[in-house]
Amino acid sequence: MTIYIQAEEQVQRNTGQIRLYGPEAFEGMRKASQLTARCLDELVTMVKPGTPTEKIDDFVLEFGLDHGAMPATLNYRGYRKSCCTSKNEVVCHGIPDRKPLREGDIVNIDVTYVLDGWHGDSSRMYPVGRIKPFARKLLEVTQDCLMKGIEVVRPGVKTGAIGQAIQTHAEAHRYSVVRDFCGHGVGQLFHDAPNILHYGRDSEGIEMREGMIFTIEPMINMGRPHVRVLGDGWTAITADRKLTAQYEHTVGVTKNGCEIFTRSPAGLDRPGLDDPS
Ligand code: MF3
Ligand code: CO
Ligand code: CO
C-alpha cells in the first residue's frame, strides 16, 4: 500500500452535490462490488457456531489484500476493523471480537472494499446454525425490504419512493424501520450525498437520475425503531434489545432501472434462507 497519491487523483470531499457517473465509473464499481460479493459468498461456510467474529474480520482483510483491495472501514474515522459484525440486537457497526458465534445467533456482516479507488459496500445476514422461525421471518422480510426498495429505482422517481417501499413492507409485518442510519451515495468516496432514507413518502427526497450510485441498506427491528450507541462509540443496539436485521446492496441508476453491483455471483444473496429449514 502506497501512502502517496497524485494530487489530481484526490477526490473532493462530500460537498452535498450529487455525482452522476459514466461507464468507466460503472466498470470500476462493478469490479469493487463483485469482490465484496465474493467475500460475502466465501463467508457463508465460515459462519457457524464457535467461529469468533474476529476470525471473520481476519479473513476479510486477507481476502481483500490477496485481490489488491483494502477494507474501507479500516482506520475509517477511528474504526479499527476490516468489517462490521452485528449480532442479534446489534443494529449496525458491531465490532468483531474474540467471542464465538453461538447456535441460533443471526449476524450481519458488512464489507466495503476499495479497489482501484472504487468502493463496493454490501452486507448480508447469516444464520448461525439453526435459528428460530421468528428470526428467520425477520431475515426474509428484511431481505424483501431491500429488494422492494431496489425495484423502484429508476430515473425520474424520487429517492423517497425507496423509503416508502421499504417502510410499507416492514410495517405490514409489524416491524419498524430504523431512522438513525441511512443508505448513502458511494463511489470514490465511502459516504457521499445523497442520503437514502429507508422510510418516508414517494414525494420526498431528490429525483433519481441515470448515473447516480448509492447504497440501500435497511435496518428492520422486531420491536421499536429506537437505537442506542454503546460506550465504544460504534456499536448501535436496539433500545428495547429486540432482534434487528439488515441487508445492503450498492446500486447504479441506469436508463430503465438500476444495476445491482454487489449481487452474489453464486446466488447467495440471502444465506440460509433458500435451503429447507
Ligand atoms: N459499511 C457501513 C455502511 O454500510 C459503514 C461502516 S463504517 C464503520 O455504510 F466505520 F463502522 F465501519
Ligand atoms: Co453503506
Ligand atoms: Co456497508
Tens of pLDDT along 225-267? Answer: 999 999 999 999 999 999 999 999 999 999 999 999 999 999 9
On whether the CB atoms of residues 72 and 114 are closer than 8 A, the answer is yes
d(CA 3, CA 5): 7
d(CA 230, CA 69): 30
Q: Which atom of ligand 1 is nearest to the CA of 76?
A: 10
Mean pLDDT on 84-103: 99
On whether the CB atoms of residues 220 and 207 are closer than 8 A, the answer is no
Ligand 1 pocket mutation, candidates 84, 189, 217, criterion most atoms within 8 A of CB: 84
On whether the CB atoms of residues 89 and 241 are closer than 8 A, the answer is yes
Centre of ligand 1 from the C-alpha of residue 122, in Å: 10
Q: Which atom of ligand 1 is nearest to the CA of 73?
A: 12
On whether the CB atoms of residues 190 and 121 are closer than 8 A, the answer is yes
Binding site members for substrate: 93, 191
What pLDDT, on a 0 to 100 scale, did the predictor assign at position 4?
66
Domains delineated in the chain = 15-260 (3.90.230.10)
Question: What residues are in contact with ligand 1 under a 6 Å CB criterion?
Answer: 73, 76-77, 79, 84, 93, 110, 112, 121, 215, 217, 234, 248
Binding site members: 93, 110, 121, 184, 191, 217, 248
Q: What is the pLDDT of residues 146-197, one digit of tens each?
A: 999 999 999 999 999 999 999 999 999 999 999 999 999 999 999 999 999 9
On whether the CB atoms of residues 113 and 32 are closer than 8 A, the answer is yes
Centre of ligand 1 from the C-alpha of residue 126, in Å: 18
What pLDDT, on a 0 to 100 scale, did the predictor assign at position 10?
59
Q: Which atom of ligand 1 is nearest to the CA of 181?
A: 9
